[in-house]
A and B are shown apart, each in its own frame.
Chain A
Amino acid sequence: MSDTHAQTVGYVRETFIPEQAPPHAVTGPVKWLRENLFPSWFYGILTIVSVLFIFYVLSIFLPWLTGGVWDAANIRECREIFAGDSAGCFAVLTERWHQLLFGFSYPQHAYWRPTLALILLAVAVAPVLFSNLPRGMLAFTALYPFIAFYLVWGGTILIPLVALAGVIGGYLVYAQLVDRSLVGGLIAGVVAAAVIWWLGGFVTAEMPNLLALEAVPSRDMGGFMLNMILGVVCVSLSLPIGILLALGRQSSLPIIKWICVVFIEFVRGVPLITLLFVANVVLAYFLPPGTNFDLILRVIIMITLFASAYIAEVIRGGLAALPRGQYEAADSLGLDYAQSMRLIILPQALKISIPGIVNVAVGLFKDTTLVSIISMFDLVGMIRGPILASTDWNGVYWELFGFAALLFFVVCYGISQYSQWLERKLATDHR
């Protein structure tokens, strides 16, 4: 940069060259293609293979989908319409959609009830899932089980009302006594609730038709609705049990700890299907002679036990992830075990466990299809049983299983997207 060099330069440009567009190779779609599809020869080959694969799949799938028959009375009519083509016989879906969704025994004129219950479920769950919604909505969440029971099972409105009254009464008693002693409060609350239910039983027996919806026995539940019922009921029941199990496993009391450990490891060590066998063929022998739970209730019990063991492990992870200082801080404030858990530890541990719990819930919801193996007509059971067995639709596989897969995919994908969103929201480390 010394002056001497300036002499050797013949010409110095005094103005900027006008900006030019970048070469085609590094801009626009070409750049995108180069960077994303052909960054190296290896990925180039992968891209080509992928394109061929997608083309191959679509070339089979699209004609099947677009050429499908939506209006036919049975598979023979479908075959006549195809005249040798391979196309989808979607008429089975239009013909049997109500059986796939609601089972074959649920009264058709009452389909609005489970549908409404499903819509309300979204409203009830929303405040739990999204913390920025008004907290007042949680009141509806608390009411939801009773509303859903009334809608789905029907019967007089008094049953859920009495149940609700019992819960409220029990809670009021508990709230009165909890400051003096947690255990005393719990026991008194349970007793109060039991008394209210017992008294309410007389009222319900007197007026069985007050504002009654048509009662539907649980045996008549079926189709995708049964999967939803099992999934929602079992997950919500298993949450409190799972919390207790997790606390028990972390407890310093050896007997309680070992009961919980044995239970959790036992349940996690066996496949769900064996537990369903228990529900179906063994549990009846362990109940008092003369009582007989119907199958759906036995299945709910076993799936709930199954789910609670997995949820307990998730919550245990949450408890373990809390910094030691939180426990010590609670102790140093002079809180006893129940108070420190209720006020300090669990609220935080549960919050960081939510993604894990959601994953367990998705897995459990998928596993509800296993009830088809023990002769319950859930979505898969409906397909493998009555629909494929009927002379009308024997031989329609892809359409039915594709439909089932699609339904599950929509629900589970939605939930797992939520869980990922939540994980991102809760992730506080910056990288």
Chain B
Amino acid sequence: MEAVIQYLLTGLSAGSVYGLIALGFYVMWSAAKAVNFTYGEMFMLGGVLTVVLMELGLPLPVAALTAIAAAALAGAVIERVFVRPFNQESNAIGWMLTTIAVGIMIEASTTATYGPLGRPLPSPLAEEPLRIGGSGIYPQELLLPVAAILITLALEFFYRRTVLGRAMRAVSFNRVAAGLVGIDADRITLLAFAMAGALGALAGFLVAPVIQASASMGVIVGLKGFMVAIIAGIANARGVVVVGILYGIAEKLIEGFLSTAARDAIGFTLMILLLLLFPQGLFGRAEVRKV
């Protein structure tokens, strides 16, 4: 029984990472119907840049905020240069491949300069674990679900109660119509990608003290986060976070009771099956296409 509690705890923290990443995808997809396949690298930059800046002497909060800002900027640049020109056609190949290319470039340049090894990001919340019976979790890890919930609520508030947020929702429903009522859809999309970049970097920064900041920490997380977003239906914020957390827990349970080695195989197969059963996602809405 203790084991299950541990799985729930670690699953909660890992799942919150997926959820945060998925939130970023949700923000981008709503605004542009396209995403940033480099997104895992924003996550990585959150951790790696903070470490580098701290090594250069900046105090932790300043380093972290700078890293997050840099990721936001990167998100915006990627949208403007690599996504927007390729989002005209209905074929998704264009922006998928360009963002994959950028992701490769970011990871490769980081490996070449920062090195392939991970470096620690010290944090007082990652030193002593909280013990619950025979299970434990670092307080740092609890920051993640807390962050996920707070950010979800903040996003919902933003979308419903602020002018800018409502403009974003308008763009996500009907880009052309939003333009007709005076909303600069392009700028909104840019902002969305910047927001998402910041979100990803925040997640990376929060989890780096636990798993170390390394150049390759973003690849698989980005992919899983995207799949989580799609399975959830990429249609609403709560949905993606919930599915992210559930997937994190499911992974741990699979590891615990079935097989560690086959965890990803089983997990991805599960995702494929879910997508086949619910092509519009678990929380998505079925679209009836006019013939």
Answer whether A and B are interacting partners: no
B interface residues (Cβ-Cβ under 8 A, vs A):
none
A interface residues (Cβ-Cβ under 8 A, vs B):
none
